[in-house]
Structure 1
Amino acid sequence: MAVYMSDGHLEFTFDLGTGVATIRSGEPVTLGEWHELRLSRTGRLAILQVDSMAPTQAMAPGAFTQLSLPQNLYIGGVPNFDMVSPKVRVRTSFVGCIQKVVINNQPLQILAAALGGVNVDNCPHPCVTRPCGDEGRCVPEMDYFTCECAQGYHDTQCQQHAAPTMLQDIPIPRFAGNSYLHYSDPDTMRRIISYKININMRFRTTSSMGLLLWSGRCNMSAAGDFLALGIADGYLHFRFNLGSGEVTIPYNFTQVDDGLWHRVKAVRNEQEGSVTVDNGTTVTKRSPGKLRQLNTDTGLYIGGMENIDHASQNKYKNGMVGCISDLILDTDYHVKLVQMSTAGKNIKHCG
């Protein structure tokens, strides 16, 4: 299999042993800008998508469905193009930057895991200047970055202060898109895992997408139980699956990515769910099937979670960017967001 650029388009060519298939992006990519390429293959069918372009697909001929790859994986080029199938139309290596490679939901450590390499240098990017200091890791996000700070450091650049603010001292947590707070205590979980749940949360954000709240299963499947509050295209939604089918309840009356404080109330009473934002109109839907109880085993995540793509079965790509000031379960159980958490990552103070 090969991924390459040809005449400005991205192409994916593969051969399962009974004939070659090639997919080509519908439009050429703009040069000098970051792009995201998503590829998937299931049996003979492959799908390619670049950024928000319409996906394209191709079906390999023949009856074979398994891809056998005895060679190593090469990124950016190869030592000798004689080793590349003549069915691949290009014979030059890539010139540019590759920021991230994720294979089957597992990030590839492009440099640290490489067996060898030639003529590889830093790409011009803010992370080159080590903006997160000695106590943080710079995570590139296209032209920008976020800092993953060691616990106990809340400064934007993870710099150590004479008396650093510890996580427990943060009254209102701020999330950076790769942050989360996790809860697994019995009092919280018995309110999540039940026939009914009432969630009342106050938040603000300027991001048009992100995960606010999640509880799911460790071995998540398409039919696995989960409950989530999230934002898509600037609007909030409530979604859950009790094991017999997923329901999504979008709230399209109020756009919430305006940087102002908003309050969401999400209620699930067995199969019926409802969501309200800022005391507006309540939207109600019912989940399919007959199952009525939520059975999850991951605990409760607020603001995001670790390995979010894989853990949510690609329902979410990143956590929220913003602040959460209030979380009440079942009308009277006030969750002390930072103090009660059993784990947290990249949490800062909401200024």
Structure 2
Amino acid sequence: NFWNAAYFSKETSYLHFPTFHGELSADISFLFKTSSSSGVFLENLGIKDFIRIELSASNEVLFSFDVGNGPLAVKVTSAGALNDGRWHHVKAERNVKEASLSVDYYPPAVQKAPADGHIHLQLNSQLFVGGTASRQKGFLGCLRSLKLNGRPVDLEERARVTPGVMPGCPGHCSSYEGFCQNFGSCVEELRGFTCDCSLSPYTGTFCHKEVSAFFKPGTSVTYTFKEPYELIRNISAQSSSIYSDLTLKGENISLSFRTSQAPALLLYVNSYYRENMVILLNRHGHLELRYKLAHNKDAEDLATAGRNLANGQLHKLSIQRFGHSLSVQVDQHAKEDFNLTSDTEFNAIKSIVIGKVL
């Protein structure tokens, strides 16, 4: 039920469900996201009794009800705006002794019930979600994970057959993008989000699990690619398009490393055309890059800021190149920009070598 959501695009739109039964106790919880300053989340009416939860101001949620003793209200006022386009959690409870309202992590507001009086909440109309039968302003935005007395409500099923309401909710990444760690990117989905870890040296749901290996002195890992001419022979007519895809005009490389040994090879890539790229720590532990993208020209050596990275600490390295432009970032330090003067294309990668103490 966590991602079960509905998006209300009109103030006059709403979902309706059977009458809410909360005669002696009621427990209602949900999440909402909106840019509107007010609107009714849900409402259920009786002949005189009612129960209602609404965004009464941009920073205020109001829980009101009447069990025959006159209207009572519980209000939570937040320090910041609640119509900020982010998810906020609401929990409203009512029993014969008191009513309480919680919003996010703010302290709950509590309203004691009258010592003598009616205690039964008697409702007889349909439950309106995202709107109201009393002609008050409806809700604009998303409601998610609605539970009534602990039982989940399927908002999406009802939204599929209701004009002005859409199942699911757009914009999850605006609230949860920070969950994707280590340069992982948030990918929007109808029912939630996923983290794309492809540009990160991490894996897992939130790009939080390190993909790592321990290298003993003199050891490395080599990935070897098939010679492109074999593809040309085996695939005939369409082989040229496959061959051209092997030409790189840029790279986006990210990795983390920890070592106390220098000099050390971090990454070496070469091609079938005697082109290569090298990322290494020199004998002082300083990061150096070497590009040789034209087999008939000397390699270009690029030296970054003189920091000793062979200090046994974990370091994060990010390298981005497009054409002649190259940027390097180590940890949280400022990016360093370089310009290559030779060729810009990396043709037909032959192998990739990772990790080796030189």
| TM-score calculated relative to the size of structure 1 | 0.43
Which structure shows the higher strand fraction? Answer: 2
| TM-score calculated relative to the size of structure 2 | 0.42
